[in-house]
Amino acid sequence: PKLIFEKPDGHEVQVVADVGVSVMQVAVDNGIDEILAECGGACSCATCHCYISESCLDSIEPPAEIESEMLDCVLEKKVNSRLSCQVIVNENMEGLRVILPDSQF
Ligand code: FES
């Protein structure tokens, strides 16, 4: 599916993602600098924080408990905050919009 990354300055980057990989990996592979992902996807750094457009939340699984706990550590948590390493791309994500935070910490 095609994912849309929205940068803090409003600039958009559209990428075609493979099913089964994490949104974090898609971001890193496509040079999206806002996703730092210091722990490499182990759900222990919270530097892969992003916001999923609220209209797209239905197409993804809600966060597991470990992710919810880590989300309490992010700079500006919102209802649509997610750790991108824990969001796995599926077929229903066509047009999913990933809004990138100004800063990870
Ligand atoms: Fe570290 Fe997602 S990459 S929590």
Quick one: which atom of ligand 1 is closest to the CA of 83?
A: 2
Which of 83, 88, 98, 104 for a ligand 1 pocket mutation test, highest count of atoms within 8 Å of Cβ?
A: 83
Provide mean pLDDT across the span 3-28. 98
**Each residue of 6-18: pLDDT tens digit?**
999 999 999 999 9
What distance in angstroms lies between residue 49's CA and the mean position of ligand 1's atoms?
8
What distance in angstroms lies between residue 40's CA and the mean position of ligand 1's atoms?
6
Residue ranges per structural domain of the chain: 2-99
Superfamily of domain 2-99: Beta-grasp domain (3.10.20.30)
**Each residue of 50-103: pLDDT tens digit?**
999 999 998 899 999 999 999 999 999 999 999 999 999 999 999 999 999 999
Whether the CB-CB separation of 80 and 74 falls below 8 Å is answered with: no
Total count of residues recorded for the chain: 105
pLDDT recorded at residue 91: 95
Pocket residues for ligand 1 (CB within 6 Å)? 24, 37-39, 41-48, 70, 83, 85
pTM of the predicted structure, to 2 decimals: 0.96
For the CA atoms of the chain, what is the radius of gyration? 12
ipTM: 0.99
Taking CA atoms, 40 is separated from 4, 45, 74, 86, 90, in Å, by: 21, 9, 16, 11, 20
Quick one: which atom of ligand 1 is closest to the CA of 36?
A: 3
Quick one: which atom of ligand 1 is closest to the CA of 37?
A: 3
pLDDT recorded at residue 59: 87
pLDDT recorded at residue 16: 98
User: Quick one: 82 exposed, middle or buried, by C-beta within 10 A (0-12, 13-18, 19+)?
Assistant: buried
